[in-house]
Amino acid sequence: MTTVEVAWRGLDDEARLDVASVEFDADGGFVATGRQSTECYRAQWDLVVDSAWRTRLFTVDVEGYEPSSAAEELDDPNESGGSLEPVWQRHLNLWRRDEGSRSVWRCESGESGDVPGDFGPIGIADDALELFVEALDVDLAGCPLTNTMPIRRLGVDAAGVGERPITTAWVSLPDLAVIPSAQVYSSGPEGLSDIASALDDRVVSVVHYRSATREVSVDLAVDAHGLVVTYPELAARIDVD
């Protein structure tokens, strides 16, 4: 096991902080726990990824607060917080298993408190499960950690790998709705890895990522573990003492 502690500061929202502790298995896969905090909510999550870099279990709890209070308490990536009183809470468990070449997803959810009126249902509706039969990954909104699974599974952190289309189970925050997200990964442009490495010695490769669902197309700088160092216009790694 190799344990890596990482944190990202939002580039689109400086109040957003993502922190994760990742235990990589020598045979592939990892177990991770983390949190995301903003001015309005705090999400605490756990993720289990198998040796083939496929999601097996994802659980997330979200607590909503009055604006600014959560971000002020959790501005330090080394602090877990916990003294704030939430206005509302939501919870989601997602499990994925293989059935032949298909993914079968199952979810459980719950909520309490004064949930915002514009929130929709939590998780995956029963009549939408067929839309996720090709999805192998959870993709948590705003959290660069969940790019690691497809990067490692598809091998796009090596040079010369062409476009690899996938579907993910994209988890929206803070409402915890889950939608199918069509995405494409490939190796980054030739020569860009050398430039990125010269600017930041943590970077060993660049991966191109495109999301048709959210109209995103970016080059991700990644480290030797396949963890994102820089996600343009979304997040950048910061130091964890």
Whether residue 229 contacts residue 206, with contact meaning beta carbons closer than 8 Å, is answered with: no
Q: How many domains does the chain have?
A: 1
The pTM of the full predicted model, rounded to 2 decimals, is: 0.91
> 44-71: per-residue pLDDT in tens?
999 999 999 999 999 999 999 987 555 5
Report the percentage of the chain scoring pLDDT > 70.
Answer: 89
Instruction: Tell me the pLDDT of the chain averaged across its residues.
Output: 92
Question: What tens digit of pLDDT does each residue of 141-185 get?
Answer: 999 999 999 999 999 999 999 999 999 999 999 999 999 999 999
Omega before residue 174 within 30° of 0, cis:
yes
Amino acid at position 39, single letter: E
State which residues form the domain around 26: 2-115+122-238
The residue with tokens 């957003």 is: 16
Q: Distance between CA atoms of 55 and 95, rounded to whole angstroms?
A: 8
